[in-house]
Amino acid sequence: MTFRELEAWRTKHNVPDTWWVSVEGVVQDETYALADALQIKSQSPELHISVLNNIYASHANPTWVDLTLHTVNITGVPARTAAKVAVVAEKTPETQAPATAAIPDDFLKKFETMAGEFEAMKREVAALRKIADTYKDSFAEAKAILDEREAFLEMSEAQLFEKAQKQEVRSTELDQLAENLAKRDAMLKANGG
């Protein structure tokens, strides 16, 4: 939206002139007045600048509005809706920054530094994802091997338990036979045999 459109919206809805500003997708550390955001856009029209009124900052999925000099572009809405919303606005003295306005050098340096850091972080995240995928595959293989071993151990344990039960039954039977033989021996000796 143009400065004029945003200012009209702000006045109509009686909201403060306190805006979060995103320059090339990097949200600034502090809020700005809308005129300050316009000044940045006017000095560097090629920059993608979006604004969000501070009253919406705490919303779960706030809609950022592209600040433009000519057309209305709303982010966060379906493409077919955004295409219908595109409107050409005239350049008026209200929408242009004063001739003396300039983007501070320290701001541009900070932006360039942050953009470089952001690209480095993107590369680092991609590398970490690659490493994580490698470990993920290794862990999947190790898990399959451990699952197979666990199944084998459970089967072996069941067989061992079954053999132990059979051994216990045999031991009981042998004890019973030994007792019977001892009684029979005692009876034969008692009968004179």
Q: Are residues 130 and 50 in the same domain?
A: no
Taking residues 106-122, report their average pLDDT. 86
Q: According to the model, what pLDDT value does residue 102 have?
A: 57
**Residue 40 to residues 50, 69, 154: CA-CA distances in angstroms?**
11, 11, 70
Q: Are residues 93 and 118 in the same domain?
A: no
Q: Are residues 109 and 160 in the same domain?
A: yes
HSE-up (13 A, CA, CB side) for residue 112:
6
How many CB atoms within 10 Å of residue 78?
8
Q: Are residues 192 and 119 in the same domain?
A: yes
Q: Are residues 86 and 156 in the same domain?
A: no
Which one has a higher pLDDT value, 100 or 177?
A: 177
84, 102, 120 - which closes a domain? 102
Range of the domain at 63: 3-102
Q: Are residues 132 and 183 in the same domain?
A: yes
Q: Are residues 25 and 92 in the same domain?
A: yes
Q: Are residues 126 and 182 in the same domain?
A: yes
Tokens of 38: 């316009």
102, 132, 164 - which closes a domain? 102
Residue entry with tokens 């541009």: 108
102, 122, 147 - which closes a domain? 102
If one counts the domains in the chain, the total is 2
Q: Are residues 98 and 119 in the same domain?
A: no
> Is residue 130 pLDDT above 80, yes or no?
yes
- Determine whether 17 is exposed, middle or buried from the number of CB atoms within 10 Å of its CB (0-12, 13-18, 19+): middle
CA 103 – CA 101 distance, rounded (Å): 7
Q: According to the model, what pLDDT value does residue 45 have?
A: 86
Q: Are residues 13 and 98 in the same domain?
A: yes
Query: Whole-prediction pTM value?
Result: 0.38
How confident is the model over 61-111, as pLDDT tens digits? 888 999 888 644 444 444 333 333 333 333 333 434 434 445 677 777 888
| 3-class SS of residue 48 | coil
Q: According to the model, what pLDDT value does residue 94 have?
A: 41
Which one has a higher pLDDT value, 9 or 78?
A: 9
Q: According to the model, what pLDDT value does residue 193 have?
A: 61
Taking residues 143-149, report their average pLDDT. 94
Q: Are residues 52 and 138 in the same domain?
A: no
